[in-house]
Structure 1
Amino acid sequence: MNWKDFVIPAVDLKEGKVVRLVRGLMESAKSYQVSPEDMASLFQSKGFGKIHVVDLDGAVTGKPVNLEAIKNIRMVFGGRIQVGGGIRDIERLKMLDDIGVDLFVVGTVAVYDRRTFEKMLELFPNRVILSVDSKGGRVTVGGWKEETSLTPHQMALQYDHLPIWGYLYTNVDRDGTLEGVDPQPYLSFKKWVKKPVLASGGVASIEDVIKLMGVVEGVVVGKAIYEGRIPL
């Protein structure tokens, strides 16, 4: 497998800027002196076919905030774009669809409003990625600020039979830490589901990427790219 087909670079947006967080804490945000569209152009020029865009402000407020930046990314990136952060109703989903977003990463509404989530799947079958954000073995929602009683597999089993694209499983405890990946949570999760799984959290090197090949269908990588741990 070409590792550029397996790796999905991340572009996290806060107030229109490219940032990275540690364990999802907004106060830990580190800004990078590059525009979102320039970052997306760079990823395209290096041969990546997919990017993962997160509207961090949207994840906290519950509605997309960085739409202009997402539009600019869509204008320069010809591959697949998946977007998460604040997608909690049909209207917001349609707004992103109108921009040209390919896949929608949704988590909070799947926990708190099953009816709306199932309507999203009805309108956009196989284009919704269920976001499973695990912290201490429990699913967190609302920008990783609210812990639920659900384990990752309990959340997934509610929807695995429905037309979701698959899952984005984030190990929040490792996200943005550059501590390296732990394949075990993904291996355990895969035993319960039939749909594709994307991994996220802790990647620090090419070796980490290799560890996940054969375990999941793709891996989202952010800080390791921005900090030069994985040279493009």
Structure 2
Amino acid sequence: MLVIPAIDIRGGNCVRLVQGKLEQETIFSKDPVFMAKLWQAQGAKRIHIVDLDGAFSGVIQNLELIVKIAKSVNVPVEVGGGIRDMDTIKRVLSGGVAKVILGTSAIYNTDIVKKALKKFGDKIIISIDSLGGKVAIGGWKEITAVRSMILAKRVEEMGVKEIIFTDIKKDGMLKGPNVKGIKAFAEKVRIPVIACGGISTLDDVKRIKELEKDGVSGMIIGKALYTDDIKLQEAMEIAEKGG
């Protein structure tokens, strides 16, 4: 099982928010390139990047910096936030990014999702961000009427090969993941699910690892790595071997 460190970028800095709220921002590093190199040095096999400026504005804002990050490490980088048209997808992938994460597009522009899947296949990941079982989009500013599990089935039928599932209530809280919700979500689809939100102790890592049999193939860890509540190498050891 993969453990994927997260780098959220806002204003060129590596930050963490609480439940996606800008007023609850903590800057953990002014050098996201250094952070990516650090996570790689500690053994990360993949790095998760979100352009928060892009997520909130609807247009990717930190592409130059993201390309710099992708070129500074030898592990695959996945990127989301403000990627909502084919031209942006092409620009991001041509910059050395391995996978593009689409969220809002899956709700408002399924044609883009279908076209992207046809052209780029498994380089496209769908992110489903859930609040109370419903999908949140646009930097989590808008809660839709679409049920998370219904969207998951819909994108699976389109041919998506991987879904990131985030429980917004848990994100940045350091209070543990919604294991029951993640399990229920993963059981509804046949494609791999990456769990995100609230993973804050090694015990949480063990609990997510136990969901491997239910279709959870990895976990994204953010704030807990920056606060040192979790050491990446220890989390990876549990996820890869059990413990």
**Normalization by structure 2: what TM-score?**
0.91
State the superposition RMSD in angstroms: 1.1
Secondary structure in 1 aligned to 2:174?
Answer: coil
Alignment of 1:44-193 (within 5 A): 44-193=40-189
Q: Structure 2 CA distance, aligned partners of 1:34 and 1:15?
A: 9
Q: Structure 1 CA distance, aligned partners of 2:187 and 2:45?
A: 28
Structure 2 residue 36 is the aligned partner of structure 1 residue 36: no
Aligned-pair CA distance for 1:162:
2.6
Q: Is the 1:21–1:176 Cα contact (8 Å) retained in structure 2?
A: yes
Q: Is the 1:127–1:164 Cα contact (8 Å) retained in structure 2?
A: no
Specify the alignment match of 1:213 in structure 2.
Answer: 209
Aligned-pair CA distance for 1:36:
0.6
Aligned-pair CA distance for 1:34:
4.2
Gaps of 5+ in 2: 233-243
Residues 100-136 of structure 1: CA distance to partner in whole angstroms, max 9, x if unpaired? 1111110101101111221111111111111100012
Residues 195-222 of structure 1: CA distance to partner in whole angstroms, max 9, x if unpaired? 1000000011111111001311100000
Aligned-pair CA distance for 1:6:
1.9
Structure (1/2) with the larger helix percentage:
2
Residues 8-57 of structure 1: CA distance to partner in whole angstroms, max 9, x if unpaired? 00000001110000000112111113411100110111111101000000
Secondary structure in 2 aligned to 1:30?
Answer: strand
How many percent identity over aligned positions? 37
Secondary structure in 1 aligned to 2:190?
Answer: coil
Q: Which amino acid aligns with 1:228?
A: D
Q: Is the 1:12–1:20 Cα contact (8 Å) retained in structure 2?
A: yes
Q: Is the 1:170–1:200 Cα contact (8 Å) retained in structure 2?
A: yes
Aligned-pair CA distance for 1:192:
1.4
Q: Is the 2:12–2:30 Cα contact (8 Å) retained in structure 1?
A: no
Number of corresponding residues: 228
Q: Is the 1:22–1:175 Cα contact (8 Å) retained in structure 2?
A: yes
Secondary structure in 2 aligned to 1:224?
Answer: helix
Residues 130-150 of structure 1: CA distance to partner in whole angstroms, max 9, x if unpaired? 110001221100110111111
Gaps of 5+ in 1: none
Structure 2 residue 52 is the aligned partner of structure 1 residue 23: no
